[in-house]
Amino acid sequence: MRRLAPALLALALAATACGSDQPVTATVESRTLTVFAAASLTESFGTLGKRFEEQNSGVTVKFSFEGSSALVQKLTQGAKADVFASADQANMDKAAKGEVLDGQPSVFATNRLAIAVGKGNPKGIKGLADLAKDGLTVVVCAPQVPCGSAAKKVQQSSGVTLKPASEEQDVKSVLAKVQSGDADAGLVYVTDATSAAGKVDKVDFPEAAGAINNYPIAVVKDAPQADLARQFRSFVLSEEGKKELAKVGFGTP
């Protein structure tokens, strides 16, 4: 029997391989969705992001959690993102005014304030008025941050004036000071205090009803992943999204 030349042998092997029954593995495109979201959404959006990845092969959701005002500033200065979720309407309005949004925002949740105190509530804090007592170290969010704006509203409506030891740039920083013992109490969102159960105690107060925050979400203008951004927005607004948000205390708009 004549032997095939090396070149012919290679062609024969290739033809045999092409005619085999072995399955061909499809390549899944890798895509990254960048979401700018208020710090108070850390836990709930973290979970929703993982579910979104599971439902969309090859997709990675990258979050940037900060105070809403800081995120707006980054967007208006040219930072690239696909989705923006704010902890209040005022900062979303700033984003719209800065022409960094694609389409109209939609409100997907509401939130209200609560008082975070150390485990066991060692100072015996029962309500907002107690935070004005001498000898307490109280921290709040800065006025330009949604939780700080809400804190200002409840003080004005209740007549209680606080003298905070510090004004933080996001609600997680307030919570961290209470957890570490650097502060006796802090005004945070119900959702943050709930998420930190076991690390802090939560004290509800009726005056919080006068400062309910709406949380809007929008697709960012010139989003690198515009189609994915719209899908994620719809996912957050879906029943599945609402159920996850409700677990930590977010309300329904």
Q: Where do the domains of the chain lie?
A: 31-110+214-247, 113-210
pLDDT at 190: 97
Residue 35 in marked binding region:
no
Whole-number pLDDT of residue 232: 98
**Predicted local distance difference test score (pLDDT) of residue 29:** 86
- CA dist list (Å): 252 to 42, 90, 111, 215, 234: 18, 19, 9, 10, 15
- Going from the C-alpha of 223 to that of each of 75, 91, 117, the distances in angstroms are 11, 19, 40
State both tokens at 151: 């804190």
Query: What is the pTM (predicted TM-score) of this model?
Result: 0.86
In order along its 253 residues, the chain shows pLDDT tens digits of 444 444 444 444 444 444 445 555 557 789 999 999 999 999 999 999 999 999 999 999 999 999 999 999 999 999 999 999 999 999 999 999 999 999 999 999 999 999 999 999 999 999 999 999 999 999 999 999 999 999 999 999 999 999 999 999 999 999 999 999 999 999 999 999 999 999 999 999 999 999 999 999 999 999 999 999 999 999 999 999 999 999 999 999 9
Cβ atoms of residues 100 and 220 within 8 Å: yes
The SS3 of residue 64 is strand
Both tokens of residue 3? 């032997």
Does 68 count as an annotated binding residue?
yes
pLDDT score at 169? 94
189 is in an annotated binding site: yes
- C-alpha to C-alpha distance for 140 and 98, rounded to whole angstroms: 27
Contact 231, 94 (CB under 8 A): no
pLDDT given for residue 177 in this prediction: 98
Q: Is 195 within any annotated ligand binding site? A: no
Q: How many residues does the chain have?
A: 253
Assigned fold of 113-210: D-Maltodextrin-Binding Protein; domain 2 (3.40.190)
**How confident is the model at residue 22, as a pLDDT?**
55
The C-alpha atoms of residue 245 and residue 108 are separated, in whole angstroms, by 9
For residue 62, the Cα-to-chain-centroid distance in whole angstroms is 11
Please give the class, per CATH, of domain 31-110+214-247: alpha beta
Common-topology check for domains 31-110+214-247 and 113-210:
yes
